[in-house]
Amino acid sequence: MLKEKVALVTGGSRGIGRAVALALAKAGADVAIVYAGNQNAAEDTATAIRDEGRQAITIQADVSQSADVDRAVKETMSALGRVDILVNNAGIARDNLMLRIKEEDWDQVLDTNLKGVFLFTKAVTRSMMKQRSGRIINVSSVVGLIGNPGQANYTAAKAGVLGLTKSAARELASRNITVNAIAPGFIETDMTEKLGDEAKENMLEQIPLSRMGKPEDVAQAVVFLASDYASYITGQTLNVDGGMVTM
């Protein structure tokens, strides 16, 4: 389905990003994994991709630094030749009630979760415009749509990603580049592992399918949006949330 394609996945060492990287490789793509700090996890994901018979490289980068982002795209270009699919998945959380969110916690979350999406999108756009094709898939969150107490910074960034997705989709459509977002709900990852039992039970009550999602559930949606089956879809948000948000 994605034979001969090259994908770059940010936050690709663990959680949803790892599942996305693996699913893209299973669909035939070579993958560049951009990771923040966990080199072992990134190498582990790369090994799993090579086991699928695809090429994989790992690149350490801070997605909020333009020099890092430009380097990551250049390294991918020289190692794998091109970038056909960009998955902006890297994200962090610094949860607290709004009154207690420190300015630096606001800045860090916005820098990684929103500015990082902008920087990577900008960095791949030039080559995607020239090759007159490309797929950009941004991982947002259901809380970016409905809000969540204790996550003002995170939800602001994730809602910002949806606006960026729509503007980028309109700007790049004439060059056959589609830009879409995925809004995962409550997914089993290290990030949600930290939530308390009570918070988890409250969450489960809001999910019509009454179970947490798996990273693979999100990954399959990414593969779909990256594939030819989704060539007429752009500027959209696909919710992968067990029915949490219906709109």
Partner 1 sequence: MADTLSRVQRIIVDRLGVDAAEVTLEASITEDLGGDSLDSMDLILELEDEFSIEISDADAEKIKTVGDIVTYINSHS
Binding residue per annotation — 181? no
Please choose, out of 38-46, 84-92, 100-108, 169-177, the segment that lies near partner 1 by the rule CB under 8 A: 169-177
Looking only at the bridges linking them, the beta strands covering 30-35 and 6-10 are parallel
Q: Does 78 bind partner 1 (CB under 8 A)?
A: no
Number of residues that bind partner 1 (CB under 8 A): 6
Please choose, out of 147-155, 167-175, 220-228, 236-244, the segment that lies near partner 1 by the rule CB under 8 A: 167-175
Neighbours of 26 (CB within 10 A): 17
Binding residue per annotation — 11? yes
Could you say which of 1, 77, 79, 129 contacts partner 1 (CB under 8 A)? Answer: 129
232's tokens: 């007429």
Binding residue per annotation — 155? yes
CB closer to partner 1 out of 167 and 202: 167
Binding residue per annotation — 157? yes
Site pattern 171..190 for partner 1 (x: CB under 8 A): x--xx---------------
Binding residue per annotation — 158? yes
Annotated catalytic, 35? no
Q: From CA 161, how far away is CA 239, in angstroms rounded?
A: 14
Looking only at the bridges linking them, the beta strands covering 85-88 and 56-60 are unpaired
CB closer to partner 1 out of 78 and 246: 78
In single-letter form, the type of residue at position 191 comes to M
Residue 49 CA: distances (Å) to CA of 23, 28, 53, 79, 130: 9, 10, 7, 15, 28
Please choose, out of 39-47, 125-133, 184-192, 217-225, the segment that lies near partner 1 by the rule CB under 8 A: 125-133
Could you say which of 74, 102, 126, 194 contacts partner 1 (CB under 8 A)? Answer: 126
246's tokens: 């219906």
Q: From CA 237, how far away is CA 247, in angstroms rounded?
A: 11
CB of 119 to partner 1, least distance (A): 14
**No. of H helices and E strands in the chain?**
10, 7
Q: From CA 16, how far away is CA 89, in angstroms rounded?
A: 8
Residue 182 CA: distances (Å) to CA of 17, 151, 222: 12, 18, 8
Binding site listing: 11-14, 89, 154-158, 187
Q: Extract the annotated binding site for NADP(+).
A: 11-14, 89, 154-158, 187
Interface contacts to partner 1, rule CB under 8 A: 126, 129-130, 171, 174-175
